[in-house]
Structure 1
Amino acid sequence: MGDIAKGALGGAWTLLVGWVLPTALNLAVLTTTLLPSLREVPPFEHAASLAAGRGAPAFLTGSLMLGLVLNALQNPLYRILEGYLLWPAPAYAYGCRRHQAIRRSLTDRLVLLRLERRAADASLSVIDRADLTLLSHSPHLARYRDLDQRSTVTRRALLQERLARYPVGDGHLAPTRLGNAIRRFEVYAYDRYQLDSQLLWNELTATAPEQARRQVDTARTSVDFFVCLLYGHLALLLAAAVTLTSTTTGRPAVATTAVVLAALVPVWYRSAVSATDEWAAAVRALVNVGRHPLAASLGLDIPKELAAERTMWSLVSRIPRIPYHEHAAALDRYRRSPAPAGDDVT
């Protein structure tokens, strides 16, 4: 039944689930817990009629309209959580340094666990033994040593999962967990193939298999859902603060609602970060299987050697980014030969 609904709704499925549904949930909290206490506050006295059950059409219309607005604003909303928008320069730099240290700590912990496991089998080289001694006495790993030594295979896999949510290279780090979790798959294509997927995203999605494109949209919907819930809860917290300072009606219920909302905000943020795992896997699949039809649509043949392919995509990525230069003629050796006259072109 879910697949039938998705097929019927098409592209609207991601909009409804990612933005309209969480907006409706937030409005439901607003109308049931906050608006009844705001009947005497002039800006909200007319909206309070929704809490009495007389505004179901208005509730649905409001959910749809606000969901559409949030969907249109998704880029700045994401950029705030990623740390790119409205972040002061000192906060941005501190966040990047902090996550650089976290990533280094995760890497060292995993390396230490691997070396200790190999040391038990007496299969360490001289260099590995030196690394093991250095990491064993490292001050920044002392707090994790006992916990890691008692960790199970599952806990070690969770450490690897946390490390995988960071992009490669310090130059790609973002100041927030969500920013790094998204940045890791934004730079995947460039790191592996020198293909700037951000710059060529429209071309890539236009030529990739439909199933790969659908997987990306579906995976992003989960992240959109939690991001929308998070922003809605922040708006509700602001409304709760206005309620507590403007009226004495229903204060216990409003205060309880505010506490619950404040506790749920970090939960939704962590859920959004975790949901990027599926999004990253979908983008990785899109790049791996989509670069071949992309090359064909551009009239190019992908070389057999990976190094040559990386050179080709590097040249392709320069064309939309910078004005034409004669050095772009180096792409000619990768272009397909024209089909003989009279041959069918499929």
Structure 2
Amino acid sequence: MMHYPNLVPPDADFRRITEAAVVQRERISRVAEVVARGMGNLFLIGCGGSYNDFSAASYLADRAARLPTFLFNSEEFNRRRPVLLGLNSVVLVASHNGTTAETIEAARRARTAGAHVIGFTKNHTTKLAAECDEVFTYNSDRTILAPKQVLIGLMVTALLREAGSELDFAMIDQAYCAVPAAFEKAIEEAESHLHEIAKAFGSDPFTYVLSAGPNQGAGYGFAMCYLMEMQWKHASWFNANEFLHGAFEVVQPDTPVLLFKGEDDTRVVIDRVEAFLNRNTQRCMVIDSKDYSLPGVPSSMRGEISPLLLSTLSKRLAEHYQAVTGHLLTDRRYMFKTSY
């Protein structure tokens, strides 16, 4: 294996932590069976990275749910006060540290309205956990995205099953069971390409990041959470198709653009944008889930799983950036340091 100076090794506990999330699917099924009785709508609520963690589940629900599903930033939910929130609502809330004030308030508002609130957080002692009817945890401060998104995906899938959606649930379950080993393998397979991206873009002060469909969270999260928050670099995320309706006018031969490309029906959107970029900039780079073997994931389910893979690879890419730039991902100017 090639050595990359200053690169932290992958989390040795990645597979174990992600397997611990998959194992919770039986409890998830039991909870879903109860809370889905009389369920009239579903709300998915979080801020920042936790908001992004709902991206794939929201896309799946839009395609398969026989009931209204809403994805909200926590504070937007609190201020908008959706009239459909009530006794027949199921509300999923997420916050890693469980201290995000807006998300805690959202959980309280939802419970006050009579909704059933299910939380996803680091452990059972967080402040958010205390505000939820049910809590699912992953107990890790480094491997976060994969287990949290697995738990969310399993829960939304279980709710869809109880609500009568027509999906191949056995194949979906098989795909999720394969995730821990498949993603561990993908991180190994991706190292050289991720380092290439970090070296190519690491000195740039500004990067455009594009993604689409269920992969929006991976792209948006990389731009906002990793480049802007953790690397202090200017970045802008766009839905890939929306980029073609104005923003693409800024593209020059040296404009750096990073594409996150999955295997769902919106792949054609990325194909179209990639073709444009390859004609107009010499600095388009792509993270494509098709490049990874994903052993054990049924071919028909790769589109369901690839958004989670792209998120996992985005975190590893951020660690390659850290190795190249020397700026620690833990460095902050404001977050956790000042009032905001």
**Same fold? TM cut 0.5:** no
How high is the TM-score relative to the length of structure 2? 0.23
Q: Of Structure 1 and Structure 2, which has the larger fraction of its residues in strand? A: 2
TM-score (norm 1): 0.23
Name whichever structure is richer in helix by fraction. Answer: 1
